[in-house]
Structure 1
Amino acid sequence: MNQEVMIPSARVLLLPGWQNSDVLHWQSQWEALYGYERLQQHDWQRPLRGDWSARLQETVVDSVQPVVLVAHSLGCVLTAWWAAHSPLARTRVLGALLVAPADTEAEPVAAQLPGWQPVAQARLPFPSIVVASQDDPYCRWDRSQHFAQAWGAELVDLGPAGHINTASGLGRWDAGHALLRRLIKE
């Protein structure tokens, strides 16, 4: 574990999206490299918003340290929904890095993930950065812009990077980790 780039004052929770993040995904690499903790869900194949929200809530409640959320895809939608409904979002979360939010209101995602509509549009009560791609197959660029604005987040344009996952070829994605460190410093 590389101690010098860890974020020691907070518990970093990795929130994967639907079907979890595979071993080559940047979230999995950050887990291995920096010791960040993956929020384990009960069912990665058939995600239920209520179950996933309850799991996040209980993890934050049980945390001794404040948390930083690092979400990908459906994990971003989970973060926005949970933050809109939990008072802990105001007091226990230092910030969130929201990467490649999925648009669960648009087809074909809506059909594949029933129960994840609407996407919460409330301003997040903590600093946040949305990292989005111009050619994400699960969220049009204009929707990523809309989510960032609604959530009060800084928007980082990664250009044509697909869904910012293993297929995007980012490896351990050091530039993304630099964004996370900057977010926490601020």
Structure 2
Amino acid sequence: MAIDLSTLDFLVVPGRENAPAEHWQSHWLGALPNSSRVLQEDWSRPDVAAWTGRLDAVVASAPRRVVLIGHSVAVATILRWAAAAGPEQVAKVAAAFLAAPTNVDDPDPSFDIVRSFAPMPLGKLPFPALVAASRDDPRVTFPQARAFAYAWGADFADVGELGHIGSAARLGVWPAGLLLLGGLLARV
């Protein structure tokens, strides 16, 4: 039985610096019904308390069950939120699509801007999830992305060599990603 997409709210959760017009997340906003972007006050300096607090408020105000669509440090935002949210909030999540999870635990100084999200939660997610990972992502190694997916109880998709799966990859609406999302929603 196919899921009726009109019964869901799609919450696009961008990473640092938001998702510009050419980013696949922005394209998905136009392609998915009942979709909206989770807006943050400061896109340049992600703060775990502010970002998870904003996600919590948006999930609470959503009129339907939600599908979270996270990219980069937004994946850590979703994981930190899920670990701290109450059961009623978590029950509103139908599924989570997690692309290019930034390894917030990486000791390299270039990761200092997202250090407030460390340590990355490694508990099983209480809702279906899929991790989409690139083999040449500079923000997480492919084996680490696979280990995250395993720890979270999420499905894992190898999307080839797409870098950080952001604007630089020039994915447009990213049809292959939408197919992965469809497969995830088939489990809901």
- TM-score interval w.r.t. the shorter chain? over 0.9
In structure 2, what is the equivalent of residue 120 of structure 1?
121
| 2-structure distance, mates of 1:54, 1:90 | 14
Letter in 1 for 2:70: A
| 1-structure distance, mates of 2:165, 2:70 | 12
Does 2:104 align with 1:95? no
1:26–1:172 CA contact under 8 A, matched in 2: yes
Extract unaligned runs of 5+ from structure 2: none
| 1-structure distance, mates of 2:145, 2:152 | 11
SS of match in other structure, 2:94? strand
Q: State TM-score, norm by structure 2.
A: 0.92
Per-residue deviation, 1:33: 2.9
Extract unaligned runs of 5+ from structure 1: 1-5
Q: State TM-score, norm by structure 1.
A: 0.93
1:132–1:157 CA contact under 8 A, matched in 2: yes
Per-residue deviation, 1:114: 2.9
SS of match in other structure, 2:143? helix
SS of match in other structure, 1:97? strand
Q: 1:89 to 1:152 in 2, by over 3 A?
A: farther
| 1-structure distance, mates of 2:156, 2:31 | 26
Does 2:68 align with 1:62? no
In structure 1, what is the equivalent of residue 130 of structure 2?
129
| 1-structure distance, mates of 2:77, 2:159 | 22
The alignment yields a C-alpha RMSD, in angstroms, of 1.6
Q: 1:83 to 1:13 in 2, by over 3 A?
A: same
Q: 1:130 to 1:89 in 2, by over 3 A?
A: farther
Per-residue deviation, 1:109: 4.3
| 2-structure distance, mates of 1:23, 1:74 | 19
In structure 2, what is the equivalent of residue 144 of structure 1?
145
Q: For each residue in 1:5-61, what CA deviation from the matched residue of structure 2 results, as whole angstroms up to 9, or x when unmatched?
A: x82111000000011111100000111233521000111011110001111111111
| 2-structure distance, mates of 1:109, 1:151 | 25
Q: 1:23 to 1:78 in 2, by over 3 A?
A: same
In structure 2, what is the equivalent of residue 79 of structure 1?
78
Per-residue deviation, 1:89: 4.8
In structure 2, what is the equivalent of residue 3 of structure 1?
none
